[in-house]
Structure 1
Amino acid sequence: MTPAPARLVLIRHGETDNVSRIFRGPEGGQSPLNAEGFVQAARLAQNLKALELPAPRVYASTYLRAQQTAQAIADALGVPLHILDDVHEIDTGAFAGRPYAHLTEFLHEMTASDGQFGFPGGESLAGVGERFHAALLGVLPQPGETVLIVSHGAALVAILSKLLKLDPRETWLSDTHRHENTAVTDLVWHEGGQPEVIRLADAGHLL
């Protein structure tokens, strides 16, 4: 019997109390889920459990909100939670403390120190994609395995741009790959092929 294809499930963390939608940067790494965030994580965990994913391994970024979301998933799947470096959120540099709305109003400022699209004084989308991809190479699933990684909004846009060979700036601006809280992107690799998107930024479990 041919094994199931290698499967990668990318997930954004649940809701936090950042209701004012302010860029927090690395200083927000210990922000926990709020009550709604825990409800979202529980719903997602049951959704993933129902899929009966083959040989799952669950990873989370070094940020607390990602770990709390991932713990609910790991518990539902009956597997341990692993912490994975370098899949954390983008460093927003000079935008830390500014509202999300500034992304539109000050789009002309969005150039990182490496000269690519990103945050001045922080990271570029391409740079985040590179560090995330390097971390991913160490845990990639084999045929018949599933790797689930709980990460963050901009970081997920960055890694999907890298994996799917998309332009990071255009992908960011198009909003097609934006993940709501606990949204899921599911990819599979068939032997010798490129990743195939099974579902993209899907939050149907919250409906």
Structure 2
Amino acid sequence: MRRLVLLRHGRTEWNDSGRAQGHADVPLDEVGAAQAKAVAPVLASLRPVAVWSSDLARAAGTATAVAAECGLEPVLDPRLREFDVGPNRQGLTAEQYAAAHPEEYAALLAGDLDAIPGRETRDDVLRRFLPALGAYADALDEGETALVVSHGAALRVAVPAFLGWQGDPGESLGVLANCGWVVLEHSASTWTGGVERWRLTAWNRVVTP
């Protein structure tokens, strides 16, 4: 069995205040740093052989804490970044965005992301994210585990696509908590006649106090 563990970054002040982050380089706040410190030994117990991370500060800071507990150095990969939300959305709450840019906000609600300047679509994110996940999966030998540190919205679209689910089922998955993680395992199943494939075995696991 091979295993990929996909971790959302810890909390930032912008998370706490409801401000859209996108590609903004927002660091962890005190709570987020504590979350990363708490999750680190739990994930280290899985004995990962590698830690890959988005290069944005909130993910990289989380990855650094986890990798240190594992005796590893994180490898930063910009392909793992969050959706780019566009310059007009970045740093604003939903209410502020609706007031400042009502036409863009209406397009967002209608799902017309192409009408929003600088905004990435689901397909844009998948074009960069899926090759990264595929490369990480191919790099694992049998019995190995690796960690991937990324962002909530990006993971919600990338995981179903990586698993080959049809359509756009990301909205059917619960929102990942800060420092919540996902487990994907590649193994055979008697249900599929012994065919080996990647499967979702856990979604939004968190450290409990």
TM-score interval, smaller chain: 0.7 to 0.9
Name the counterpart of 2:187: 190
Question: Contact 1:71/1:81 (CA < 8 Å) preserved in 2?
Answer: yes
User: Whole-Å Cα distance in 1 between the matches of residues 82 and 131 of structure 2?
Assistant: 15
Q: 2:42 aligns with which of 47, 51, 66?
A: 47
Partner amino acid, structure 2, of 1:109: A
- Compute the displacement of 1:120 (Å): 5.8
How many residue pairs end up in the alignment? Answer: 191
- Superimposed CA distance per residue, residues 178-201 of structure 1 (whole angstroms, 9 cap, x where no aligned partner): 211000001110155221222111
- Superimposed CA distance per residue, residues 113-167 of structure 1 (whole angstroms, 9 cap, x where no aligned partner): 2x9xxx6641112321231011222222231221201000111012112123335
After TM superposition, list the pairs within 5 Å mapping 1:115-194 onto structure 2: 121-140=118-137, 141-166=140-165, 169-172=168-171, 174=172, 176-190=173-187, 192-194=195-197
User: Whole-Å Cα distance in 2 between the matches of residues 38 and 168 of structure 1?
Assistant: 36
Question: Contact 2:157/2:168 (CA < 8 Å) preserved in 1?
Answer: no
User: Whole-Å Cα distance in 2 between the matches of residues 129 and 64 of structure 1?
Assistant: 21
- Cα distance 1:206–1:125, how it changes in 2: closer, same or farther (>3 A)? farther
TM-score (normalised: structure 2): 0.81
Higher fraction of helix: 2
TM-score (normalised: structure 1): 0.81
Name the counterpart of 1:60: 53
Identity of aligned residues (%): 28
Partner amino acid, structure 1, of 2:203: L
- Compute the displacement of 1:108 (Å): 3.3
Find the structure with the greater CA-based Rg. 2
4+ residue runs of structure 1 moved beyond 6 angstroms? none
- Cα distance 1:100–1:199, how it changes in 2: closer, same or farther (>3 A)? farther
Question: Contact 1:10/1:149 (CA < 8 Å) preserved in 2?
Answer: yes
Name the counterpart of 1:69: 62
- Superimposed CA distance per residue, residues 47-101 of structure 1 (whole angstroms, 9 cap, x where no aligned partner): 1123x33x52011101011111011111111112111230100011253344246
Q: 1:87 aligns with which of 75, 80, 85?
A: 80
- 1:32 and 2:31 correspond: no
Name the counterpart of 2:109: 108
User: Whole-Å Cα distance in 2 between the matches of residues 139 and 67 of structure 1?
Assistant: 17
Partner amino acid, structure 2, of 1:200: W
Q: 2:204 aligns with which of 195, 201, 206?
A: 201
User: Whole-Å Cα distance in 2 between the matches of residues 60 and 9 of structure 1?
Assistant: 12
Question: Contact 1:61/1:67 (CA < 8 Å) preserved in 2?
Answer: yes
- Cα distance 1:97–1:49, how it changes in 2: closer, same or farther (>3 A)? closer
